[in-house]
Amino acid sequence: MSIDKRISFRKQLNLYVDIYSFDKYLGLHQTRDMNLDGAFIDKCARKLYPGDLLELHFHVQDGELNPLRLRATVIRSSDEGVGVAFDYDVQEYRQLLNTISTYASDGHIRRVPGFWYLDSSVN
């Protein structure tokens, strides 16, 4: 996916993410930026290729028991890292929206004026 085809701009957001490929753990990495469509993940230890399917576990709070889990497909890969496109359901969408709109680039909570904040009670 080129930057010209993105539906929304990516927000600089440095979150830790565990990467899995078919139940094989590929390590703990860090995002560079994210939006509702996908993310760029810095310098993956293992070479990934466009079309590879991943499961990502985003750590948005210290000591959390249930990280945000999203399925993703690698869209592009370089020496700098990988760009992925998310595949999620409605509940995962709500969690992702909250994460992107709530957290500052350094991972600290920051409510941003003009963003919507959803909770699990929203139908």
Q: Per-residue pLDDT tens for 78-112?
A: 999 999 999 877 777 777 777 777 765 555 555 44
Which of 30-34, 60-64, 102-106 shows the lowest mean pLDDT across its residues?
A: 102-106
How high is the pLDDT of residue 44?
80
Q: For 57-79, what is the mean pLDDT? A: 85
What pTM value is reported for the model? 0.71
Please, what sign has the CA dihedral across residues 96, 92, 46, 18? positive
Q: How far apart are CA 67 and CA 65, in angstroms?
A: 6
Domain map (residue ranges) of the chain:
3-102
Residue 30, pLDDT above cutoff 70: yes
Q: Which CATH superfamily is domain 3-102 in?
A: predicted glycosyltransferase like domains (2.40.10.220)
